[in-house]
């Protein structure tokens, strides 16, 4: 077992071990020891949008606070890098703002550090005045039906990670030899997957899609994609931008069952504006005859996608030899209630949908980070009030681990600002105890050194970024992602 650090008992006397100003930047610990009022030392766990937006708000609205961001991967930005679809580069522009935050004199990025393994939450609590848990939803929800482990069935999370270059998913190697794919779910992630499966290769070649995924998609035989939802058109979870992209996807046409949309026009006026606009587009696309130009385009398409409503999966069907998936059995449902709160209930009827490729896109879920941190397993969140972790003073949360895996990046921004504001209010009111100085990153670095963990700084990440960008430039892409964490670490150790 690694020896304990002196800072656990005598915080102000903790030395900086192995401090190198080129990588251990702007720790600010010395200032906190000499000032009349100790400098707030704040730690954020997770460097995705929730983590960076929280840090941004804290730094902007408190002129003294030091904010350290911990990330388990050697690279920052979380779902912006590994979740946003490659053909949505405009969404990734928030990285520019996050980079400005990371370069602040009062911010430190410590990558390649897994909280809960390399350092515990309790150890962070002894080094910081406050901790914000923003580690997202890194697990996937299970379907809980027979056959879901058969070859040919993939989680949306793993597939998205694969084409986005997430190191954990680089060996996924999905079998794309089936002409029909079924996606269980009707959210934005489901549409992202459908678009990736059906997009012309020349569109994907100009993105930062991982090279192994690009090569596999170039050999794909998928020609039809069904997106299956247990409820109806008024309850789809995708947004209008993503729907419009699918409707206009080159080489691809939508297919609908007009009966699914009958009567919806009569209730449009009573819908909230975002739902109204989305439903109007669905109804128009499904029921109105396309113009001459659009009709010609659709007639020439070789690929298609469709929405299947009021269906819930009850089993994945095996092939005759039992070695892989050959279809999915669906329970036909009906709705009880109306609007967003409508609940699907089975009618007793079933329907089999043949296919050799199935994606489960029913959501992500957060996991507990420490036995000492409250967690609600059913909801998959940390219990909190405005970001304050219930029953744990000094602990906060933001993002998906706070509210569940819902919303878009702007939702996360607002949510994270709210958490940061709660923390700032607690600093101002005295609810957060600043009577003792805390060493922050200096002490944690000492502890990590004793455990053989070498954190990656933001300037180290910029070395990785430069290599990826240069490699992408050679092939006409914005970047060619490095897929192996060991290769990343070798780059920063040179």
Residue 352 is inside which H or E element, if any? Answer: strand 343-354
Question: Which pLDDT belongs to residue 140?
Answer: 84
Question: What whole-number distance in Å separates Cα of residue 342 and Cα of residue 233?
Answer: 12
Question: Which pLDDT belongs to residue 265?
Answer: 84
What's the helix, strand, coil split of the chain in %, to 5? 40, 20, 40
Question: What whole-number distance in Å separates Cα of residue 29 and Cα of residue 34?
Answer: 9
Question: Which pLDDT belongs to residue 338?
Answer: 82
Question: What whole-number distance in Å separates Cα of residue 76 and Cα of residue 135?
Answer: 12
What is the mean pLDDT of the segment spanning 95-100?
A: 98
* Tokens of residue 180, six digits: 């029909």
Question: Which pLDDT belongs to residue 31?
Answer: 38
Q: 32-36, 223-227, 411-415: which has the minimum mean pLDDT?
A: 32-36
Q: Which residue has the tokens 């904010």?
A: 67
Question: Which pLDDT belongs to residue 12?
Answer: 34
* Tokens of residue 174, six digits: 């999905």
* 299 pLDDT above the threshold of 80: yes
Question: What whole-number distance in Å separates Cα of residue 384 and Cα of residue 371?
Answer: 16
Respond yes or no: is residue 88 known to be catalytic: yes
pLDDT tens-digit readout, 174-186: 999 999 999 999 9
Question: What whole-number distance in Å separates Cα of residue 162 and Cα of residue 169?
Answer: 5
* 478 pLDDT above the threshold of 50: yes
* 215 pLDDT above the threshold of 90: yes
Burial class (CB in 10 A: 0-12, 13-18, 19+), 325: buried
What is the mean pLDDT of the segment spanning 375-392?
A: 96
pLDDT tens-digit readout, 421-442: 999 999 999 999 898 999 999 9
Q: Are 156 and 143 in contact (CB under 8 A)?
A: no
Question: Which pLDDT belongs to residue 6?
Answer: 35
Number of neighbouring beta carbons within 10 Å of residue 30: 12
Q: Are 187 and 194 in contact (CB under 8 A)?
A: no
In the chain, the percentage of residues whose pLDDT exceeds 90 is: 86
Question: Which pLDDT belongs to residue 36?
Answer: 59
In the chain, the percentage of residues whose pLDDT exceeds 70 is: 93
DSSP letters along 286-324, please? HHSPPPHHHHHHHHH-SEEEEEE-SEEEEEEEEPTTSSS
Respond yes or no: is residue 454 known to be catalytic: no
Q: Who has greater pLDDT, 142 or 56?
A: 56
Q: Are 160 and 172 in contact (CB under 8 A)?
A: no
Question: Which pLDDT belongs to residue 363?
Answer: 87
Q: Which of 192, 208, 426, 460 is catalytic?
A: 192
Which distant-in-sequence residues (6+ apart) come within 8 Å of 229 by Cβ?
A: 185, 186, 235, 236, 307, 308, 309, 310, 311
Q: Which of 88, 120, 406, 418 is catalytic?
A: 88
Q: Which of 97, 139, 409, 454 is catalytic?
A: 409
* 7 pLDDT above the threshold of 60: no
Q: 19-28, 151-160, 334-343, 441-450: which has the minimum mean pLDDT?
A: 19-28
Q: 138-142, 249-253, 389-393: which has the minimum mean pLDDT?
A: 138-142
Q: pLDDT tier at 395 (50, 70, 90 boundaries)?
A: very high
Question: All domains of the chain, ordered by start, with CATH?
Answer: 6-138+366-492 (3.40.50.720), 140-364 (3.50.50.60)
Q: Which residue has the tokens 């400098």?
A: 39
Query: 344 forms bridges with which residues in the sheet?
Result: 335
DSSP letters along 417-430, please? HHHHHHHHHHHHHT
Question: Which pLDDT belongs to residue 3?
Answer: 38
pLDDT tens-digit readout, 197-209: 999 999 999 999 9
Rg for the chain, CA atoms, rounded: 25
DSSP letters along 109-158, please? EEBS--BTTTB-HHHHHHH-SEEEE-----EE----STTTTSTTEEEHHH
Q: 28-37, 194-203, 384-393: which has the minimum mean pLDDT?
A: 28-37
Q: Return the ∠ at Cα 170 (arms to 194 and 491), rounded to 5°.
A: 130
Q: Are 181 and 225 in contact (CB under 8 A)?
A: yes
* Tokens of residue 178, six digits: 């089936």
* 219 pLDDT above the threshold of 90: yes
Question: What whole-number distance in Å separates Cα of residue 305 and Cα of residue 248?
Answer: 12
Q: Are 31 and 396 in contact (CB under 8 A)?
A: no
Residue 326 is inside which H or E element, if any? Answer: strand 325-336
Q: Are 217 and 197 in contact (CB under 8 A)?
A: yes
* Tokens of residue 248, six digits: 């206009």
Number of neighbouring beta carbons within 10 Å of residue 323: 11
Q: Are 113 and 72 in contact (CB under 8 A)?
A: yes
What is the mean pLDDT of the segment spanning 447-476?
A: 97
What is the mean pLDDT of the segment spanning 283-299?
A: 93
Number of neighbouring beta carbons within 10 Å of residue 485: 18
Question: What whole-number distance in Å separates Cα of residue 343 and Cα of residue 334?
Answer: 8
Respond yes or no: is residue 410 known to be catalytic: yes
For β-strands 224-228 and 252-255, DSSP reports them as unpaired
* Closest by Cα among 4, 15, 83, 99 to 466: 99
Question: What whole-number distance in Å separates Cα of residue 319 and Cα of residue 173?
Answer: 20
Q: Return the ∠ at Cα 18 (arms to 16 and 21), rounded to 5°.
A: 85
Q: pLDDT tier at 22 (50, 70, 90 boundaries)?
A: very low
Burial class (CB in 10 A: 0-12, 13-18, 19+), 225: buried
* 268 pLDDT above the threshold of 60: yes
Question: What whole-number distance in Å separates Cα of residue 146 and Cα of residue 150?
Answer: 9
Q: pLDDT tier at 2 (50, 70, 90 boundaries)?
A: very low
Q: pLDDT tier at 15 (50, 70, 90 boundaries)?
A: very low
The overall average pLDDT reported for the chain is: 91
Respond yes or no: is residue 406 known to be catalytic: no
Number of neighbouring beta carbons within 10 Å of residue 42: 30
């Amino acid at each position: 077992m690694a020896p304990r650090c002196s800072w656990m008992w005598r915080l102000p006397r903790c030395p900086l071990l192995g401090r190198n100003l080129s990588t251990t930047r702007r720790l600010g610990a010395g200032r906190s020891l000499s000032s009349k009022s100790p400098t707030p030392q704040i730690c954020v766990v997770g460097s995705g949008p929730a983590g960076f937006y929280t840090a941004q708000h804290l730094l902007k609205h408190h002129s003294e606070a030091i904010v350290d961001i911990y990330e388990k991967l050697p690279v920052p930005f979380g779902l912006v890098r590994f979740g946003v679809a490659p053909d949505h580069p405009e969404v990734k522009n928030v990285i520019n703002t996050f980079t400005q935050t990371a370069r602040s004199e009062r911010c430190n990025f410590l990558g390649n550090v897994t909280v809960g393994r390399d350092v515990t939450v309790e150890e962070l609590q002894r080094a910081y005045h406050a901790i914000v848990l923003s580690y997202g939803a890194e697990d996937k929800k299970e379907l809980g039906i027979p056959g879901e482990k058969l070859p040919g069935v993939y989680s949306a999370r793993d597939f998205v990670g694969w084409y986005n270059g997430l190191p954990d998913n680089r060996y996924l190697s999905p079998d794309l030899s089936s002409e029909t794919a079924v996606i269980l779910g009707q959210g934005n992630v489901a549409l992202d997957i459908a678009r990736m499966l059906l997009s012309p290769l020349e569109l994907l070649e100009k993105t930062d899609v991982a090279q192994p995924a690009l090569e596999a998609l170039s050999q794909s035989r998928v020609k039809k994609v069904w997106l299956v939802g247990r409820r109806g058109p008024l309850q789809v979870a995708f947004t209008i931008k993503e729907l419009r992209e699918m409707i206009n996807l080159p080489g691809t046409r939508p297919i609908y069952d007009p009966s699914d949309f009958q009567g919806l026009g009569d209730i449009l006026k009573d819908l909230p504006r975002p739902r109204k606009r989305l439903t109007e587009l669905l109804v128009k696309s499904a029921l109105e005859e396309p113009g001459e130009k659009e009709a010609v385009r659709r007639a020439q398409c070789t690929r298609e996608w469709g929405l299947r409503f009021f269906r819930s999966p009850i089993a994945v069907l095996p092939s005759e030899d039992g070695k892989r998936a050959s279809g999915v059995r669906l329970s036909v449902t009906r709705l009880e209630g109306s609007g967003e709160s409508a609940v699907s209930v089975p009618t007793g009827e079933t329907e089999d949908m043949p296919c050799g490729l199935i994606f489960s896109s029913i959501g992500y879920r957060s996991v507990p980070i420490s036995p000492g941190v409250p967690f609600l397993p059913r909801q998959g969140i940390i219990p909190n009030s405005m970001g304050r972790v219930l029953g744990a003073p000094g602990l906060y949360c933001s993002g998906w681990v706070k509210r569940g895996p819902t919303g878009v990046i702007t939702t996360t921004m607002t949510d994270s600002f709210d958490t940061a504001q709660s923390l700032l209010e607690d600093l101002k009111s005295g609810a957060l105890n600043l009577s003792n100085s805390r060493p922050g990153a200096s002490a944690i670095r000492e502890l990590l050194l004793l455990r053989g963990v070498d954190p990656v700084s933001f300037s180290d990440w910029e070395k990785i970024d430069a290599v990826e960008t240069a490699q992408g430039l050679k092939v006409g892409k914005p970047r060619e992602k490095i897929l192996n964490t060991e290769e990343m670490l070798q780059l920063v150790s040179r």
